[in-house]
Structure 1
Amino acid sequence: MAQGGQEVTDIHSSANQEKDSCAGCGIALQTETADKPGYIPQAALEREPVICQRCFRIKNYNDASSVTVDQDEFLRLLGSIAATKSLVVHIVDLFDFEGSLISGLQRFVGNNPVLLVVNKTDLLPKSVNLNRIRNWVQQKAKEAGLRTVDVVLCSAMRGSGFDHVLEALDEFRNGRDIYVVGATNVGKSTLINRLIRDYSDLERELTTSRYPGTTLDAVHIPLEDGKSIIDTPGIVYPSRLTELVPRRVLQSLLPEKPLKPLVYQLNERQSLFFGAIARFDFVAGAPQSFTVYSSPAMKVHRTKLERADELYAEHKGELLAPPSLAELDEIPAWTRHSLRIPRGSDTDIFISGLGWIHANSSQGAEVDVYAPKGVKVLLRDALV
């Protein structure tokens, strides 16, 4: 991949390129879908050089926004890391941990050390013990077969814990490049921009040096020791609810402020609707409470199980919203997940992209979760 002055040459040679490809990264240009690679507004096709919106933002605004790629392309990029001498920084979203953890990462990175950076800790209630959260993360990473040199908790948005990220980079980099990997919507671009400001001293060069060469593989951000921070595209996991809903609905799914747990005392055969996006049925068990951890913007509606189907048919997209009735057509139909919560356990019912429901009783329960087909739904040891 070209870097430094060579990248400037690549960018300014656009006169020799066809207008159907980006002069900055070589991606095929398209004017239809703004959140897909290669997008360029129709009016911008007359500019010189002709570059996609992503490259335009990098050049003019120092915006290290990630571009999403499909899983096969992302895994090809991951596989190339094994042949490098790098520190791999894997960023995950604590709100959607199981949904954003890259499964099988270890086999792609070879012997390179992996630093696990857990973002969005600012969303947890202030009373939560962060040492307990860190231990929980370490255990989950181990179960997933991921060997980490360290686990760092932070909030890239709020800046909390970022000193610990920088300390870990200093400790484990040892003159290596830094590859930053993660799924979409985990806050990777926010963290990258913080790294640029705090870790790289070459901000004046970013408008040229952060262009990729001829392929849409990664963005190289030079460090003063001759190495680079390599920002890889965000991987799309269709098992995450946030990848399946219309963009407007994301506002209701992605919390921006600390979660406010909602406690529901339920008898068996009662249901909770999360807008018209998902449904939770307490099928059988002793009366007990369930604590919901989801975005405050997501409306939760309680009803009897015997009325749930009728309520959904009559009020989806209206009383039960989001999404709207029209937007429901863009989301896969629900699939039922039948789960048994063991006696004596401390368990969460996790729904990727929506949050989780904590079962507060140790008496056990049988529950059903209805979520769009493909969304990851599972039982896990309690996070909080």
Structure 2
Amino acid sequence: MASDLHRPPRCAGCGITLHNEDQRKPGYVPASSLSKEGAVCQRCFRIKNYNEASSVTVNQDEFLKLLGGIAGTDSLVVHIVDLFDFQGSLISGLQRFVGHNPVLLVVNKIDLLPPVTNWNRLRNWVQKQAREEGLKVADVVLCSARRNIGFDRVVEAVNDHRKGRDVYVVGATNVGKSTLINRLISDYSDLKRELTVSRYPGTTLDAVHIPLDDGKSIVDTPGIVYDWRMSEIIPRKDLAALLPDKPLKPMTYQLNPGQTLFFGALARFDFIEGERQSFTAQVSGGLTIHRTKLERADELYAQHRGEMLTPPSREDLDSFPTWTRHRLRIPPNAEQDVFVSGLGWIQVNGKTGAVVDVHAPKGIKVMLRDSIL
């Protein structure tokens, strides 16, 4: 009996251990509710009372444990990715966890691209990128949660591929997962019923099962935190400068070899070898780009980091990861982007090839990919 008295309180909705320390972590409740009988966590409360799912995050190891149970189910897996950070938000190795279950790939934030974008070409690009990451998808749907573009098609695709099964919704942080779940709740769910819970075997994490009218569920999984995304390591106050909320305004620079572009104090792009050519930066309009000579770049950074070169601020840079240099070789006639996860990409416009160096915080994903535009 004594052990029961000291057992941590658990959510009456999903069974997770309750706490009042950090609103962003699973199981949060206000301190005033912590000791109440029948208390529910913030996420369950919002689903039950407002038909609204809140974003809950876990680290990569915890998320992989959570995914481990999906292959044994008969379900539709809806994977939401961020078009602005496609390679950064795609769940690596998802295929081995979903088994034979179909995957619907929902690509959010298409409102950031120009209205003249060829959407069929973009859909083909998405399918090719997913294949290269080892992910087989049953369908691709393009949408914008912010602008409510394409969500009817998302709901339609879920209906087409669900075939009476549960729907598991998975995604990284800040990709629009909660917005989609909220829409699915409003379209499919009768929330007069109590929340139901299903815990995966062998884990202490809980996925919230939101009941559907046909007796199946939408399964809201926590958002996975990937440390290779710039948006995960930048101070929260600087996110507005990093993450675009308006259509991207491309900035094109004619560069000679030996010239450098600074993206605040977040990254640096050096044109090392090649003929004079243009590079187009597709980054947030809130981010200031500075051009200088490569021979002056180290001195400029040392003198102006955190002041003229910002974000982050000088005091935040003290705890920021040190930069790592990535050398990338762009072959002639290759239509490629230099992708920096969470920051955006730099489109290589020349046809003669180039050698570039990208300096970015240690651990941030930097790579060459086929041009998205």
Q: TM-score, normalised by structure 2?
A: 0.92
- Residue type of the partner of 1:139? K
Instruction: Report the Cα offset of residue 237 of structure 1.
Output: 1.0
Query: Which stretch has the larger CA shift, 212-221 or 262-271?
Result: 212-221
2:117 counterpart (107, 128, 131): 128
- Residue type of the partner of 1:195? L
Query: Which stretch has the larger CA shift, 308-317 or 161-170?
Result: 161-170
Residue 173 of structure 2 corresponds to residue 184 of structure 1: yes
SS in 1 for 2:67: helix
Instruction: Report the Cα offset of residue 38 of structure 1.
Output: 3.5
- Pair 1:54–1:226, CA change in 2 (3 A): closer
**1-structure distance, mates of 2:197, 2:240:** 30
* Corresponding residue pairs, total: 366
**Unaligned runs of at least 5 residues, structure 2:** none
- Residue type of the partner of 1:363? T
2:67 counterpart (61, 65, 78): 78
Residue 80 of structure 2 corresponds to residue 91 of structure 1: yes
Instruction: Report the Cα offset of residue 210 of structure 1.
Output: 6.5
What percentage of aligned pairs have identical amino acids? Answer: 64
- Residue type of the partner of 1:141? A
Residue 315 of structure 2 corresponds to residue 326 of structure 1: yes
Residue 130 of structure 2 corresponds to residue 141 of structure 1: yes
1:23 counterpart (11, 17, 42): 11
Residue 226 of structure 2 corresponds to residue 226 of structure 1: no
Deviations 1:83-126 (A, max 9, x none): 11001111111111101111111111111111111111111111
SS in 2 for 1:36: coil
**2-structure distance, mates of 1:268, 1:51:** 60
**2-structure distance, mates of 1:246, 1:36:** 17
- Residue type of the partner of 1:77? L
Instruction: Report the Cα offset of residue 77 of structure 1.
Output: 1.6
**1-structure distance, mates of 2:318, 2:22:** 19
**2-structure distance, mates of 1:49, 1:326:** 44
Is the Cα–Cα contact under 8 Å of residues 76 and 102 in structure 2 kept in the other structure?
A: yes
**Unaligned runs of at least 5 residues, structure 1:** 1-15
**2-structure distance, mates of 1:52, 1:225:** 26
Query: Which residue of structure 2 aligns with residue 13 of structure 1?
Result: none
Residue 259 of structure 2 corresponds to residue 273 of structure 1: no
Superposition pairs for residues 188-267 of structure 1, below 5 Å? 188-198=177-187, 200-205=188-193, 208-209=194-195, 216-267=205-256
**1-structure distance, mates of 2:42, 2:240:** 23
**1-structure distance, mates of 2:41, 2:319:** 27
**2-structure distance, mates of 1:226, 1:34:** 31
Is the Cα–Cα contact under 8 Å of residues 121 and 155 in structure 1 kept in the other structure?
A: yes
SS in 1 for 2:23: coil
- Pair 1:37–1:209, CA change in 2 (3 A): closer
Is the Cα–Cα contact under 8 Å of residues 342 and 365 in structure 1 kept in the other structure?
A: yes
Deviations 1:250-298 (A, max 9, x none): 1111111111111111111111111111111111211111101111111
Measured on the aligned residues, the alpha-carbon RMSD in Å equals 2.1
- Residue type of the partner of 1:94? L
- Residue type of the partner of 1:23? C
Query: Which residue of structure 1 aligns with residue 98 of structure 2?
Result: 109
Query: Which residue of structure 2 aligns with residue 68 of structure 1?
Result: 57
**2-structure distance, mates of 1:211, 1:247:** 32
- Residue type of the partner of 2:190? L
SS in 2 for 1:314: helix
